[in-house]
Amino acid sequence: MAHTDHQTMRRVLRREIAGTIGLLTDEHDFRAMRRYRTFTFDDHTTYLQQVEALLRTRAAQGNHTTVALFDPLEYAEYCKNKGLDPDLPANRTRFTAELATTGPSVPYEGQSLADLVPALVDEAIRQATWEYAATLLARLGACTTCGEDIGRAGLARASALLARIIDTAPAGSRHLVCSVSGTPEALVAVLHADDAADGTAQLDEAEALEFTTVLALGLATRSPGGLVMRTSAPGTPDRVYGWRLRGDRLEPLTAGEVFDAYCTDIESGDLISPESDVDYCVPPDLGEEKPLPGHRH
């Protein structure tokens, strides 16, 4: 009886333990791991099938699992810095556990790997974009005129602009894209916002941070770029409008400019048929920008 009770308690405790799986999403990374003797898989497709089966089993048992992007190069560097043997499974587990808090990861919620892998890759791109933009902002240093930190001032201004853009948008689902092309690497950030029950906009904090950082970099460096909003609501046509980054401010695009941007093939320059039930329009008036304390040079 005592033995059965102990088994039951252990089963209950296992459901309380959150797990993390480090996933090798592509064939190249998979081949890089095959150099380790203790990595016993020899076929990437089979490996993915086994991972998916394990995820389904853990979910059926009531266990929560986080799937993290496993990068063999980062793992090798991690082991080198800590003096660990990379061919020990325990060290792969240790690295994977840290990925759950520091690296790109998504929760497993019953979705297929065909849906999970793109979401995980998107998360990795988003995190890399934010880190890169934040690094460039930090390197801007202090303004030679007023001594204000240019990056910090840019973030404050971008946050205020984003709040006004969200507040003036029509109710419904909002999809916002910011692109900045004047930096060493072109950057793109995406933000989604949906209405909560009380009418306020719900934002993903990680998306909002990345979006604000990219916008701040564009404004602070006066780089060319643009910002496009698409709003959707039941029973009404979608609305598409936007702004170009002009110097350190946003300049509204005309309806014709928005139409041209959406209905022209980027590579060939050929016209594309406009979508049905979509209005290409001028953006709402954001109102007079309130001056922020500090750097405005």
Tokens of 67: 């799937």
- pLDDT tens, per residue, the chain with 297 residues: 445 565 665 555 555 555 889 999 999 999 999 999 999 899 999 999 999 999 999 898 888 899 999 999 999 999 999 999 999 999 999 999 888 788 889 999 999 999 999 999 988 988 899 999 999 999 988 877 777 788 888 899 899 999 999 999 988 899 999 999 877 788 999 999 887 766 677 888 888 999 999 999 999 999 999 999 999 988 899 999 999 998 888 999 999 998 888 777 666 667 778 788 899 999 998 877 665 555 555
Gap between the Cα atoms of 70 and 47, Å rounded: 14
Report the SS3 class of residue 140.
coil
The H or E element spanning position 181 is none
pTM: 0.77
For the chain, the maximum distance between any two Cα atoms, rounded to a whole number of angstroms, is: 79
CA angle 126, 17, 6 (to 5 degrees): 170
Q: Reduce the DSSP state of residue 84 to 3 states and report it.
A: coil
SS (H, E, C) 224-255: CEEEEEEEECCCCCEEEEEEEEECCEEEECCH
Q: Residue written as tokens 């990795």?
A: 124
pLDDT of residue 145: 72
